[in-house]
Copies of this chain bind each other. A is one copy, B any other.
Amino acid sequence: MSDRRIPLHLQISQVLRQRIETGVYAVGEQLPSEHQLMEQFQVSRITIRRAIHNLVHQGLASAQHGRGVFVKNQCKWVYSLSSLLIFFEEDMKRQGVQSAICHLEFQEVSPPPRVQEILGSDLACFQSKILLLDGIPAILDKSYILLELGRQFANELKTAMTFPTLERNGIHISKIEASLECTRADQQLSEHLAVPLGEPLLVYCYTAYDQYQRSLVYGSAPSRADLLTYAVTINR
């Protein structure tokens, strides 16, 4: 706590950060309570709270009402974009992860204009499902699928991944146009993915085509950025 120029709360969170990184507080372990830290650093509660907030904001810890503040695990699961959603289950097994699907919605709708344009139709099946990895809700997949395909495989789609389902039924996906960006959890997403409001999310946005360049599916899949990494190999 040398430099007077650095705010107290920052100095304290830096000390706590160091303690986490050097293992003084191990992963999963509980930090001292606000009261204990107040005494330890001789500052007011609001300053300790601010310091802890900094840690949470940096993804190093998470607070649980009535229980305490805990050190977060920094490990991430890696998913290959090339195989993602196609060989998803295999990919996960390889990493020793248990995956499950929680079906939310399936209905015929009139998609937003941009999606209508992509799919070349003013009607489509909309589906949303949550992917649980080791029991943790990690990805929310919201997608629009061509009406006829949706109707044909409705039941199967509700309990399985979209792409493997299509493949199993002889519909081959030959190209995926995708983008990855970072957003932050709004009300709805924070509930579905069980994260605090504003938590960073990685959004995987995709359009899948068959061998005739016909677009089959358009989807957007926000995922927990603290749990996932996406990998891709680019060949010239």
Contact = CB atoms under 8 A, between A and B. Distances in A.
Given A198-B54, A200-B200, A232-B232, A225 B182 contact: yes
A49 to B, nearest CB: 11
Chain A binding surface SS class: strand
B178 A234 contact: yes
A228 B58 contact: no
Interface string A152-192: 00000000000000000000011111111111101000000
A23 to B, nearest CB: 18
A25 interface: no
A145 interface: no
Interface centre among A59, A198, A226 (most CB of B within 10 A): A198
B175 A230 contact: no
A236 interface: yes
B197 A58 contact: yes
Given A54-B198, A197-B54, A177 B233 contact: yes
Contacts of A175: 233-236
Contact of A230 (B54, B58, B179, B200): B179
23 contacts: A10-B197, A54-B198, A57-B184, A57-B197, A58-B184, A76-B181, A81-B234, A173-B236, A175-B235, A175-B236, A177-B233, A177-B234, A178-B234, A179-B229, A179-B230, A180-B230, A180-B231, A181-B202, A181-B229, A182-B202, A182-B225, A182-B226, A232-B234
